[in-house]
Amino acid sequence: MSEAAVARGAIERWHGLLQDGELAADSAERMDEEHRRRGMYFGDRPLCSVLRPRFLTPGQYRWIRREIGTLMRVFTRLHERAVGDDAFRAQFRLLDWEESLVHDDPGFASPSPTSRLDAFFSSDDQTLRFTEYNAETPAGPAYMDVLSEAFLALPVTGEFLRSHVLHPLPARHGVLHALLGAYRQFSGGRALPRIGILDWSDVPTQSEFVFFRDYFRSHGIQAEIHDPRECEYRNGKLVAPGGFEIDLIYKRVLIDELVLRMGMDSPVVRAVREGAVCMVNPFRCKIVYKKASLAVMGDERNAEMFSADELAAVRAHVPWTRVVEERRTIKDGETIDLLPWAARNRERLVLKPNDDYGGRGIVLGWLVPDDEWQATLRAALEAPYVVQERIVLPTEPFPSWVDGGVQVTDRMIDIAPYVTNTTHVDGCLTRIATDPLLNVTAGGGSSVATFLVEER
């Protein structure tokens, strides 16, 4: 039996079990209770609104990890060259203040000890397409771990385990090892750091910070959650309220927001730049976090940097992407004049700001009128944007509890593997939606846990 057939069979079996109305109602009630008991909310939205996890086979997961390993070598090579080559780094379109920060040595080797690749995997034809690299502040690992535990507690799962074996894909440990590894390099010792989880107090991901804080503490590590505005830099120490001295920042606040709201002379920025505290991820992660990184790796001007295997992986898994500018480039083996070509091919393209998140500023060409597309394309010449080729988004049916019964709806689905130390995969985030932007606040948006599945 093929890998895709095993995954399809697991879906059919799970949905068949939910045809038992009592079992479905009990499972929906348990999922609601798990949300309340654990605090599984994104802001005030339940983290998960469906009654089935995503299934991958062990073979599919091994293949995904292998392909990501090749791509991560490409990202690492891009970053290494960009740090030391001003002309090459210009391709990433850093802002002036970002340029001043990327030269600071963070005290450890990895450009992004904890990161996430946002992608789409089709089980039916085993295609994998990456559209963004979140190398700055990837959210969700702790959410996925607690959501996996919630799914394992559902009554329908107990019945499903009679015919199948489920393997969760934990991710928090990858973050922990990345943080401790970076701190060992930074400090030159083996003492455990005091961890400050830093982000604004009003962000919707606060509940995940609690999961991480409790997880760190369960391993004997002191950890607290604080707003950067609460911290002081005095006597060579970054100090949070109550006198908590931070050795290691688990940075969840975005660098843009930290600098633009508080300035380059703020306590957190000064403490990091002066080497008084270790911060993960570091300021120089900005280089590969830029969406232009996907353009740089696929640009014919940079092909000599990579091996044949690496170039093949980029062609197979990264949609054609270019920084919006007046230039000639190659598309499908032919030389094109980029701006006129992009103007004519709206329905097969996406425009994305070089540095933003949560779907903000993205324009899907096939969903907007031509005048809006042309206006955005002109504006993209003033503020860094990339243009990226549209990909086909995979869909899967997901059951939810609606008005006292199970309703199965096809939803678009992504996969966002977590990468530790820019080398290997530790778990993944999966989001589903009826809106092609596919974030948790999109139409029909929800996160789901991903499990490896095998028949007994």
Overall average pLDDT of the 196-200 stretch:
98
The number of beta carbons lying within 10 Å of the beta carbon of residue 454 is 14
Q: Left (φ > 0), alpha (ψ -120 to 50) or beta: where does 159 sit?
A: alpha
Tell me: the pLDDT tens digits for 55-102? 999 999 999 999 999 999 999 999 999 999 999 999 999 999 999 999
89: Cβ–Cβ under 8 A, 6 or more apart, which residues?
A: 82, 83, 99, 102, 287
The number of beta carbons lying within 10 Å of the beta carbon of residue 312 is 12
Q: How do residues 138-187 score in pLDDT, each as one tens digit?
A: 999 999 999 999 999 999 999 999 999 999 999 999 999 999 999 999 99
Q: Map 44-112 to HEC letters.
A: CEECCCCCCCEEECHHHHHHHHHHHHHHHHHHHHHHHHHHHCHHHHHHHCCCHHHHHHHCCCCCCCCCC
pLDDT, position 140: 96
Q: Model confidence at 1, in pLDDT bands (50, 70, 90)?
A: confident
Mean pLDDT of 279-303: 96
Average pLDDT rounded to a whole number, residues 343-355: 95
Q: Read off the tokens for 242.
A: 């109550």
Q: What is the pLDDT of residue 358?
A: 66
Residue 313 lies in a domain: no
Q: Is residue 326 part of a domain?
A: no
Residues 209-216 have a mean pLDDT of 98
Q: What angle do CA 437, 439, 441 make, to 5 degrees?
A: 110
Beta strand pairing status for 223-226 and 232-234? unpaired
Scan for tokens 């940079």, then name that residue.
302
First to last CA, the chain: 14
Instruction: Tell whether 94 is covered by a domain.
Output: yes
Alpha carbons 428 and 56: distance in angstroms, whole number: 11
pLDDT over 60 at 265, yes or no? yes
pLDDT at 343: 97
Q: How far is CA 186 from CA 11, 78, 80, 234, in A?
A: 46, 23, 19, 20
Total number of domains constituting the chain: 1
- Residue 139, SS3 per DSSP: coil
Average pLDDT in the 30-44 region?
94
Mean pLDDT on 359-363: 84
Please compute the mean of the pLDDT values over residues 120-143 and round it to a whole number: 94
Predicted local distance difference test score (pLDDT) of residue 444: 56
Across 128-134, average pLDDT = 96
- Report CA-CA distances (Å) from 194 to 76, 140, 237, 267: 29, 22, 12, 17
For residue 442, is pLDDT > 60?
no
Give yes or no for residue 267 having a pLDDT over 70: yes
Residue 332 covered by a domain = no
How big is the chain, counted in residues?
456
The CA-CA-CA angle for residues 228, 234, 235, to 5°, reads 145
Question: Is it the case that residue 214 has pLDDT exceeding 90?
Answer: yes
Residue 31 has pLDDT above 90, yes or no: yes
Spatial contact of 72 and 419, defined as CB atoms under 8 Å apart: yes
Distance CA 411, CA 397 (A): 6
Answer whether residue 400 shows pLDDT above 70: yes
255 domain residue, yes or no? yes
Over the stretch 240-259, which tens digit does the pLDDT of each residue have? 999 999 999 999 999 999 99
Q: For residue 438, what pLDDT is reported?
A: 60
Question: Can you give the pTM of this predicted structure?
Answer: 0.94
Could you tell me the residue range of the domain that residue 45 belongs to? 3-288+393-455
Q: Residue 361 has what pLDDT?
A: 86
The predicted model gives 265-281 an average pLDDT of: 97
Residue type, 103: H
pLDDT in tens, 408-422: 999 999 999 999 999
Domain-embedded: residue 381:
no
Q: What are the two backbone dihedrals, phi and then psi, of residue 18, each rounded to the nearest 5 degrees?
A: -75, -5
Q: Among 90-99, 429-438, 439-448, which range has the highest average pLDDT?
A: 90-99
Question: Looking at the domain assignment, is residue 363 inside a domain?
Answer: no
pLDDT at 270: 97
Under 8 Å between Cβ of 79 and 111: yes
Establish if 321 belongs to a structural domain: no
- The DSSP result for 253-311, as a single string, is S-HHHHHHHH-TTSHHHHHHHTTSSEEES-GGGHHHHSTHHHHHHH-GGGGGGS-HHHH
Is it the case that residue 439 has pLDDT exceeding 60?
no
Q: Quick check: 113 and 15 in contact, CB under 8 A?
A: no
DSSP helix/strand/coil, 18? coil
- The Cα–Cα gap between 53 and 157 comes to 10
If you average pLDDT over residues 195-211, what whole number do you get? 96
Q: Do residues 278 and 247 touch, judged by C-beta distance below 8 A?
A: yes
What is the pLDDT confidence band of residue 15, given thresholds at 50, 70 and 90?
A: very high
